[in-house]
Structure 1
């Protein structure tokens, strides 16, 4: 059912399972090195995941293999179907729910969840992430990172999309705030209790770029200064007067920490104001150090290498 995320378990050289995130579940298949097709039926690990609207579910494992992370996007743009107040009122809800958790039709959404590898011990990692469509673990630090599509209909340049380390227990703003204490005017005055409690993301990306995936580079094919940096795919805007996105960018890191800067890496997908031939989606680093890119404008996969004449 709309499979999107994929992760091998346990992390490392000899995985025994391949996990796949459907829109409404996480399943796994038995796996051995070299398998090109499933040797058996899928086993459901996580079920009862809300699947409508933002349906891209990404998954990642912690470096020690003890935690399975799952991203669940919101069910609307700005929580239109959530309802004005939870049962018992906002104050009662806030006392018992994680910081910034949503209710009603948005309960259990716009967040990152964690499970044991067998799908048990469900818990909340972070909230207020409107659509964390791509996740990965930073090799240098073991930190979980995600790229987030922010809300629409606030103008061409508001709010920024972003890439960020996902901090345990953090609230990133959706739907009441964005990029810190900037209040969404459509929810003005609704949650004053959350003011000053919004975690500001690490790297801001131009509004409506639609970041979909992220991968850190630790390969040996690119020049040495690429090591530790991250690549992010920008699928491209649909609701902006001037196009943005439709490219792959490189996020700069120094000593394992983001500088906040990013630069173009792969461009050329836009051919006119009203025409593009490619929309980047997935990014991964192959064992030989090459970069693998997917795009769904034509359904192609690209391999990018350095210095062998085939880049």
Structure 2
């Protein structure tokens, strides 16, 4: 789903004109709640406070619009520009010039770890509470890293002994003690042999008790183009011996969340049919595992919805045969009638081709009280939609019991300059010990801090 055209120059006149138009749109749009057709929109209608709510009934028919090819033209971060956030919030630049900052995680001691994926390194920044400026930084690790992405600390708690790093082709861990700016020793390979092609963004999360390691693996294609028509012995026999909705051939162990013991042993399939679960986290209130998922391409501008969802053990989320419940992909019509009625519908539906990449729940005390228990999602944007969408950070709304309302609200916007030009593509979100929110984006290679109040 993700394509990006290299950075080009931007004229100041074009930037100022786009900014004026965006400001006008923002003033008109802020505070609106959009549903149905009005919720689809595009970047020009994005603004902090705009809320959208999609339901299954809002899905258009396949081919309702042509399948677009609309890659973003990258431009440098304009001088003096900062992303837009709601009134009362402040945005500060933390770091820039990073080659490819992707997933970000805070260590228990408050150090910020950054997967610099294209450089095959993990960086670390020491940032004092209440500040955006690093006091120290370093390259934590480079050895045995191959497009590193997800990062997790083990065991869970205040004194981890290992930093786990998810590679495109597996998982490694580095010895660690609190405060290390460089790994305490050589990496240990935990998993290997994961196919690295196509969707390569792997994430890693531990259960609260530390006994289970969750590892997400995206699909090897858009919609199982290279998967053999039938597994050896036939589909019926395969289904009896494998997890519900499990794929085979080139897609075996893909579009899944896999589970392991912390040492990489005792592999099992936790959930299937998740085309590209590129970001995972635990919901603190419930301890439920959550994923954000990039759905498939080439069915039209608004189909199917991307989504965020709690991930239930043994559940099947549709890929490649179905999407958003029992909606059959027309390209695979009639291939798996046995799965109809067994597809789990996701919890929060996003506009198609938003490309959500990471999710973080907010449990801090700095932001207004209504933010507590909500979640932030970074949307990277996609090439497969004619009206440009995504390219922002949104807030998922939850009720007091920790249940999602289905609504999501624009929180951090302003990464798009015009219909053709984009300076920033959000990837990582993480909450600091002081309750501020940190955001990485890999268009201009920057990291930002969002704080509230003085």
* TM-score of the superposed pair, with normalisation by structure 2: 0.67
1:81 corresponds to: 226
Choose the corresponding residue for 1:43, options 184, 188, 210.
188
Specify the SS of the correspondent of 1:93. helix
1:139 corresponds to: 284
CA deviation digits over 1:51-98, x for unaligned, max 9?
A: 111000001011111111000000000000101111111111111111
Alignment pair present for 1:159 and 2:304:
yes
Q: Is the 8 A contact 2:177 2:184 kept in 1?
A: no
For 2:423 and 2:366, the matched residues in 1 are separated by 27
Choose the corresponding residue for 2:215, options 50, 57, 70.
70
The structure that has the greater radius of gyration is 2
Aligned length: 308
Mapping for residues 197-276 of structure 1, pairs under 5 Å:
197-254=342-399, 255-276=401-422
CA deviation digits over 1:235-294, x for unaligned, max 9?
A: 012111100000000000011110100000000111100001100000001111110100
2:294 corresponds to: 149
1:53 corresponds to: 198
1:291 corresponds to: 437
1:194 corresponds to: 339
2:33 corresponds to: none
Choose the corresponding residue for 1:302, options 419, 428, 448.
448
Alignment pair present for 1:280 and 2:426:
yes
1:14 corresponds to: 159
For 1:95 and 1:116, the matched residues in 2 are separated by 25
For 2:187 and 2:376, the matched residues in 1 are separated by 31
For 2:347 and 2:216, the matched residues in 1 are separated by 18
Q: Is the 8 A contact 2:437 2:449 kept in 1?
A: yes
* TM-score of the superposed pair, with normalisation by structure 1: 0.98
Alignment pair present for 1:124 and 2:269:
yes
For 2:262 and 2:366, the matched residues in 1 are separated by 32
Mapping for residues 167-182 of structure 1, pairs under 5 Å:
167-182=312-327
For 2:223 and 2:281, the matched residues in 1 are separated by 26
Higher relative contact order (CA 8 A, sep 6+): 2
Specify the SS of the correspondent of 1:215. strand
Deviation at 1:48, TM superposition (A): 1.4
Deviation at 1:220, TM superposition (A): 1.2
Deviation at 1:46, TM superposition (A): 1.2
C-alpha RMSD of matched pairs (Å): 0.6
Gaps of 5+ in 1: none
1:90 corresponds to: 235
**Deviation above 3 Å: which 4+ runs of structure 1?**
none
1:109 corresponds to: 254
For 1:302 and 1:103, the matched residues in 2 are separated by 41
